[in-house]
């Protein structure tokens, strides 16, 4: 990978992290509406597990 590709992927990395933060906030908020008794820390943990599982699923789809 060349230097220009590394610079570009570094920019994407920051954008991806921001997108994931947005998704985390979005789904924690939704979960708190749907399950009002759930603690925020539990909501965050569950949503993070779901995001990790979704990423693993996408990684498997990319395998030849």
Tens digit of each residue's pLDDT (9 = 90 or more) over 15-54: 999 999 999 999 999 988 888 888 889 999 999 999 999 9
Which residues have C-beta within 8 Å of that of residue 63, sequence separation ≥ 6?
none
Domain range summary for the chain, segments of one domain joined by +? 3-61
Indicate yes or no: pTM above 0.75.
yes
Burial pattern 11-26, b for ≥16 Cβ within 10 A else e, equals eeeeeeeeeeeeebee
Closest-CA residue to 20 (of 57, 60, 54, 63): 54
Which residues have C-beta within 8 Å of that of residue 56, sequence separation ≥ 6?
none
């Amino acid at each position: 990978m060349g230097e220009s590709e590394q610079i570009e992927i570094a920019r994407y990395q920051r954008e991806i992290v921001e997108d994931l933060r947005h998704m985390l906030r979005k789904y924690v908020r939704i979960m708190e509406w749907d399950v009002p008794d759930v603690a925020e820390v539990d909501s965050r943990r569950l949503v993070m597990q779901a995001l990790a599982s979704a990423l693993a699923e996408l990684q498997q789809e990319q395998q030849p």
